[in-house]
């Protein structure tokens, strides 16, 4: 059975919520938290990538989407070489804007 846009967007939000719990919790092993949060962010981006381009473009610019996909590709393909401080800042600071875009797409998604 083919998944709906709403299901993909709800998946993305689920990953974001889990990511936020990770970074809000005990950070005694910051590296482990960052690894887990980065993988959740990558999974959320993959879910949003399943949304038709027209729907994404109604909420975010092509430049923003390319930047978001670039973060995903950096995590997936170059994670071992990533600047961990920069990645941590993305996870902490930039996820809120991405989450807001996802919520807007969800509001506009067909039932």
List Cβ<8 Å contacts ≥24 apart for 52-57: 52/5, 55/5, 55/105, 55/108, 55/109, 56/105
pLDDT digits (tens, 9 = 90+) for 70-110: 889 888 887 555 677 777 777 777 888 999 999 999 999 88
Evaluate whether 42 touches 75 at the Cβ level (below 8 Å).
Answer: yes
pLDDT digits (tens, 9 = 90+) for 27-68: 667 788 888 888 999 999 999 999 999 999 999 999 999 989
Q: How far lies 70's CA from each of 7, 42, 57, 100, 110, in Å? A: 23, 10, 17, 19, 28
Predicted TM-score of the model (pTM): 0.87
Q: Would the pLDDT of 26 be above 80?
A: no
Going from N- to C-terminal start, the domains of the chain cover 5-108
């Amino acid at each position: 059975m083919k998944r709906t846009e709403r299901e993909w967007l709800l998946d993305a939000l689920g990953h974001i919520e889990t990511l936020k719990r990770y970074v809000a919790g005990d950070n005694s092993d910051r590296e482990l938290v960052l690894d887990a949060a980065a993988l959740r962010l990558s999974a959320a981006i993959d879910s949003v990538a399943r949304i038709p381009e027209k729907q994404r473009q109604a909420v975010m610019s092509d430049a923003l989407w390319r930047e978001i996909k670039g973060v995903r590709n950096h995590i997936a393909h170059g994670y071992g070489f990533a600047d961990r401080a920069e990645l941590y800042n993305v996870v902490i600071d930039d996820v809120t804007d991405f989450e807001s875009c996802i919520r807007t797409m969800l509001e506009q998604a067909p039932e």
